[in-house]
């Protein structure tokens, strides 16, 4: 081996990948996002609100952040984007203790189950509004299906024209468009059939629908023993929720056209969701 005095040190600044300033900034960012060595990661699916609560500011799913002190271990719902990527990625500093949210959910549903008559009375105007919306959606679907039929008739005229066969590229484009129109029409026809088969087309049907939803929710509630069952219950009877910047929780307004849940479940969500509005939820 060569003596230390014979060692040659070569340092070419042109070969550097990052500057000293960038290296320091990266280390600071890693430290900011780092976890304590004693903090265990929570397995996905073990928390009752996994995939149900979203940041009202950036729309990202909220994560359960573990915190431990002398009084015990707690989980806080926080913006997942801010937690993963840093403070610059989302302005929401909101956090909500999971156990407090569970208690409020429990109190809300226990109150509902104890006074079913009041819940049914409260649900009726909501259900009527839902039916009005479904009637409007039925008209819209019928109009769109009519447009598809007219479009299909126009396209078929091109296909049947003898001169059209001489233009293979144009023929392919028209045939492709026919397939797209048929698929769109089939989807809307399925939605229309679902609306027409809705059993809640009368006051009596509305009462029965609310009663069924309430009975189903109550039975599901009594069978909850683990967090995953709580999550399944909330997903079905409450739906997605938003965590506001002020730490309040509120139901996320769902697009009824994209909601495949039964009428009973959607109706129950609207009624139950009223108990989770920021003005009454008090979190």
What is the reported pLDDT for 278? 43
3-class secondary-structure state, position 68: strand
Tokens 């909501």 sit on residue: 126
Q: Which domain holds residue 258?
A: 111-281
Q: What percent of the chain has pLDDT above 70?
A: 73
- 137 located within any domain: yes
Looking at residue 218, what is its pLDDT?
Answer: 86
Within-domain flag for 80: no
**For residue 37, what pLDDT is reported?**
44
Q: Is residue 46 part of a domain?
A: no
pLDDT of 198 > 70? The answer is no
Q: What are the tokens at 254?
A: 């769902």
Check residue 255 and give its pLDDT: 52
Residue with tokens 């039929």: 149
Instruction: Compute, in degrees rounded to 10, the torsion defined by CA atoms 210, 215, 216, 220.
Output: 140
Residue 18 in domain: no
- Domain assignment present for residue 160? The answer is yes
Overall domain count for the chain: 1
Helix (H, G, I), strand (E, B) or coil at 260: coil
User: Could you read off the pLDDT of 233-271 as tens digits, one per residue?
Assistant: 888 888 888 999 988 888 876 554 445 455 555 656 655
pLDDT at residue number 119: 75
Give tens-digit pLDDT for 29-83: 666 655 444 443 444 456 888 889 999 999 999 999 998 888 889 999 999 999 8
**pTM for the full predicted model:** 0.55
Least confident interval from 51-60, 121-130, 136-145, 240-249: 121-130
Please indicate, yes or no, if residue 218 is contained in any of the structural domains: yes
> Is 190 part of a structural domain of the chain?
yes
Question: Residues 98-123: what's their mean pLDDT?
Answer: 83
Q: Which of 1-5, 93-97, 125-129, 153-157 has the lowest mean pLDDT?
A: 1-5
Torsions phi, psi of 56, nearest 5?
A: -75, -15
């Amino acid at each position: 081996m060569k003596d230390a005095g014979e060692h040659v040190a070569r340092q070419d600044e042109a070969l550097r990948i990052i500057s000293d300033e960038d290296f320091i900034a990266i280390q600071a960012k890693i430290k900011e996002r780092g976890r304590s060595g004693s903090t265990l990661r929570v397995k996905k699916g073990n928390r009752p609100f996994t995939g149900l609560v979203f940041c009202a500011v950036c729309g990202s799913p909220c994560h359960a952040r573990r915190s431990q002190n002398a009084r015990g271990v707690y989980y806080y719902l926080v913006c997942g984007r801010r937690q993963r990527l840093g403070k610059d990625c989302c302005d929401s500093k909101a956090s909500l203790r999971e156990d407090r949210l569970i208690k409020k959910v429990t109190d809300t549903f226990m109150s509902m189950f104890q006074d079913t008559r009041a819940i049914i009375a409260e649900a009726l105007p909501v259900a009527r509004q839902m039916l009005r919306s479904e009637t409007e959606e039925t008209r819209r679907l019928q109009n769109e299906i009519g447009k598809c039929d007219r479009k299909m008739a126009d396209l078929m005229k091109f296909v049947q024209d003898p001169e059209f066969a001489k233009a293979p590229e144009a023929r392919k484009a028209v045939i492709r468009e026919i397939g797209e129109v048929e698929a769109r029409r089939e989807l809307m026809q399925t939605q229309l059939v679902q609306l027409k088969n809705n059993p809640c087309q009368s006051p009596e049907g509305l009462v029965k629908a609310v009663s069924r939803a309430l009975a189903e929710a109550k039975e599901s509630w009594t069978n909850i023993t683990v967090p995953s069952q709580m999550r399944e219950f909330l997903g079905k009877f409450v739906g997605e929720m938003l965590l506001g910047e002020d730490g309040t929780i509120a139901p996320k307004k769902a697009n009824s056209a994209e909601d495949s849940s039964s009428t009973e479940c959607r109706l129950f969500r609207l009624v139950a969701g009223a108990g989770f509005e920021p003005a009454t939820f008090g979190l």
